[in-house]
Structure 1
């Protein structure tokens, strides 16, 4: 009696993934077009201009000090509780978990790892670029300022550019970057812009960042989103490598569990007829005129021969060819005719 094998949870997961399409046909991967390249270069120039304006203690630094002396958290104290919760939308841990959960569900439905890999690449670029700028310039925050009117650069701080603002731009902007349709991309771009703008102003309200920190954080996050198409080939290769590893380990798991792939159906045997001499490519042997075409019948040895009826009956036991009484011994037979 044959019983069906009970499927495990891992089998159900693989079966669900195999039912989904490999990649939706209507989703196109963004490319680094000329328009995007020009926009990236302009944003990078604006980034350098903001840093230079802070280094030379220009009007931007004086604006930072005016906002700090205004103390928004005292002017609108009733908003303090709401802003404390709203600024969490710019923290790297909670936002990364929420966005990764959504992109993980999309990866499950579309059978592609591109959303999760794009998020990982963007967060890696964010940590490298913004972290290097923070500790490289070492600017102190408003609560730790030492000299009124100074830029507070290279004093061991880590607030320039604003990490909350840059993280909000990248984390919520990646949803617009990975959108399936142009209309969805426009809506998500507007939502991510408003969210990141609110996060940046919340840090200014709480007094944890200068206004120039927030401005540079917006630009730093936008640079990462504009540079993502350059990393699309790397994301595609990483996705192929991961799926290859998955198939390899799944085959090993199947082999360990004793499951064998179904064999291909065997075709019906083909009956072949023997080839004749002409079909096999062998030339027929020529027949000479001196000898006949057919071989003459063989002649028996001279001597008395008994008919079939006169022979002794064959015994049921014994050898297959018992000797006959009428047969002469081998040595006493006369010579055959030439």
Structure 2
């Protein structure tokens, strides 16, 4: 009786699957409001408004010097927003779910969201080129188009998308509510931690939250592509399986004899093979005689069970001066008296 964890999981019922979210009016309204907030932050930074002044005030306040006791903890906590470790952790969990539910949708959704994150956030980062607080050159300046890559905050946007995807793929409404709250707390904490450490401006974090939320809200538009990609992957897998089960056949010229190959024993037993086991051309006299007599290849026997065969006669070559054993020898001449 199996008592391991896999046996128990096999007996557990599968949780009910929730249909992928659709772009309802409520979701479209949230998407539009988040997009307006995103554009407002970008414009506020471009024109050097009060938001840039707030950035400098927070930066000069230096939170990491005001509360040094939590610095060590926040150095580890901010890892929850790094793309590599978080993507590996979430991919392991979603891979387990994909195996349990026999679907690739969780992994494909994670891959699509991270791809959108890299394209959108990366393009804005490189396009605006804002420098971070530690590399700022002029007090009160927005530090744009200076070769930087921190606006919006990648840590914050990645935390929103990576942990929010768990709530997006939840299989029950209760799990979706709990995971939404957990992902919101983690992403808020990661964003504020970057401000505490002085690696990002406050406006970077605000734009990172908006960027990650836009990706999560817009994922239903990508669901048809995810479904098509999953169908294509399963179709390719079935083709490879069918190709592996197919038996290769040898092409034969039209009208020519077909060769029937019979397996032969290798090694020292090859000398004891029956001529009937040799390749026989269909239509020949040997094949016709074997078919008429109903001949079958003899069964292979173990060497110890075979009857020893003694060759008839002597193996010695004939000699003119020798007489066969058992014959009458000629008289020898007698010499002397």
TM-score by length of 2: 0.69
1:44-63 to 2 correspondences below 5 Å: 44-63=35-54
Structure 1 residue 142 corresponds to structure 2 residue 133 = yes
Indicate the residue corresponding to 1:119 in structure 2. Answer: 110
Contact 1:103–1:115, Cα closer than 8 Å, also in 2: yes
Q: What CA deviation, in whole Å up to 9, does each residue of 1:14-44 have, x standing for no partner?
A: xx9xx99xx9763211111111111101110
- CA positional deviation for 1:255: 2.6
Whole-angstrom CA distance in 2 between matches of 1:244 and 1:37: 34
Query: What are structure 2's unaligned runs of at least 5 residues?
Result: 1-6, 250-337
Q: 1:256 to 1:66 in 2, by over 3 A?
A: farther
Q: What CA deviation, in whole Å up to 9, does each residue of 1:191-250 have, x standing for no partner?
A: 000000010011001100000000000000000000000000000000000000111111
1:77-116 to 2 correspondences below 5 Å: 77-116=68-107
Query: What are structure 1's unaligned runs of at least 5 residues?
Result: 1-15, 259-338
- Residue 188 of structure 2 aligns to a residue whose secondary structure is helix
Q: After the TM superposition, which parts of structure 1 deviate over 4 Å for at least 4 consecutive aligned residues?
A: none
Contact 2:15–2:171, Cα closer than 8 Å, also in 1: no
Structure 1 residue 158 corresponds to structure 2 residue 149 = yes
Structure 1 residue 168 corresponds to structure 2 residue 159 = yes
Indicate the residue corresponding to 1:73 in structure 2. Answer: 64
- Residue 89 of structure 2 aligns to a residue whose secondary structure is helix
| Aligned residues: CA RMSD | 1.9
Whole-angstrom CA distance in 2 between matches of 1:121 and 1:155: 31
Indicate the residue corresponding to 1:13 in structure 2. Answer: none
TM-score by length of 1: 0.68
Whole-angstrom CA distance in 2 between matches of 1:257 and 1:186: 55
Q: What CA deviation, in whole Å up to 9, does each residue of 1:102-156 have, x standing for no partner?
A: 0000000000000000000000000000000000000000000010001111111
1:173-322 to 2 correspondences below 5 Å: 173-255=164-246
Structure 1 residue 128 corresponds to structure 2 residue 125 = no
Whole-angstrom CA distance in 2 between matches of 1:66 and 1:102: 41
Whole-angstrom CA distance in 2 between matches of 1:68 and 1:257: 71
Q: 1:49 to 1:253 in 2, by over 3 A?
A: same
Larger radius of gyration: 1
- Residue 94 of structure 2 aligns to a residue whose secondary structure is helix
Indicate the residue corresponding to 1:64 in structure 2. Answer: 55
Give the aligned length: 239
Q: 1:136 to 1:239 in 2, by over 3 A?
A: same
